[in-house]
Amino acid sequence: MTTDVLTRYEIDVEDVEYLRHGSKPLLARLFKPRGAGPFPMIIDLHGGAWCRGDRTDDTATNEALARSGVVVAALDFRMPPDAPYPGSLADIHYGIRWLKARAGELHTRQDKVGLMGISSGGHQAMLLAMRPGDPRYSALPLSGNASVDATVRCVVLCWPVIDPLGRYNYAKNLQAGGGPNAEFGARVIPSHDQYWQTEAAMTEGNPAMALERGERVQMPPVLYLQGTADVAHPRPNLDRFVAAYRKAGGRLDLKFFEGVGEAFVKKDPGSPASLECIDTVIEFVHREMR
């Protein structure tokens, strides 16, 4: 299957305000296929070590999804210094409910909504999918729609920070080692500190460790994608999460892309690996939300 074969729809793209904190609006960029639907919907959460990035980061993937017949909503959300953990989770949780409440006008259905996250966005996507009823994450009331929940049908994880504490310790070791990847450690450690503030928070808001603790969580189908040359997302953390998710009864598809590092789709969206990655996402979304 190729993206060319799946390019069937003309699309419209617009930014809408979905939430406001004081005078600061939070926007969602909507990628909408033209047609009656009902289409599946994917809510996209950008990466950037919880502290950088915005709703425009994943446009290549989002446009391809929309052209295949998927409504995509790419969210902005609070980041440090505006809010540490769990502020972004509260914004995204609200965004999921806000979008589900407007399913009809967006030509989708409330039961056809999934999440996609990249790097730190992958962490947030998985954590929210596992804990849709967490009162900290659902703290922002949705006026007039109290019955709308934040459960999702499926999750796409693009090289997620699946174990924040494990990645934090990995980055500190890289920095201390002074090798070719020391700069990466020096760059991401401050972001971990700004967002999480404590190692206890990194332990608590941790999808891999939540499973290992035996926490009772929701387990929608997962697609997990990563490059074999990715030094930003430690392979042992991936292996632990995948094993724990499957052991707990979750269904997880795992696919590696040979010789590419983190953020390869954003860096070179036209490369063979990137096109294959986007095709894999499209296939998964359409299969899981038929």
- Indicate which CATH number applies to the domain containing 105: 3.40.50.1820
Residues 9 and 33: beta-carbon distance below 8 Å: yes
CA distance 160 to 187: 17
HSE-up (13 A, CA, CB side) for residue 278: 29
- Top mean pLDDT of 4-8, 34-38, 95-99 is at 95-99
Q: How far is 239 from 167, CA to CA, in rounded Å?
A: 13
Q: Which amino acid is at 159?
A: W
The token duo for 173 is: 């070791």
In angstroms, the CA 271 to CA 24 distance is: 37
Torsion of CA 266, 252, 155, 191, to 10 degrees: -60
Mean of pLDDT values over 154-159: 98
pLDDT tens across 56-72, in order? 999 999 999 999 999 99
Residue 3 pLDDT exceeds 70? no
Cα separation, 222 vs 126, in Å, equals 9
**At residue 226, what are phi and psi to the nearest 5 degrees?**
-160, 150
pLDDT tier, 7 (very low <50, low <70, confident <90, very high otherwise): low
Q: Which of 153, 165, 152 is nearest to 212 (CA)?
A: 165
Question: DSSP character for 179?
Answer: S
How far is residue 131's CA from residue 129's CA, in Å, rounded to a whole number?
A: 6
Q: Is the pLDDT of residue 6 over 60?
A: no
For residue 192, what are the domain limits?
3-288
pLDDT category of residue 4 using cuts at 50, 70 and 90 = very low
How many domains does one find in the chain? 1
Name the amino acid, one letter, at 25: P
Q: Mean pLDDT in the chain? A: 95
First to last CA, the chain: 17
Handedness of CA 240, 241, 244, 249 (dihedral sign): negative
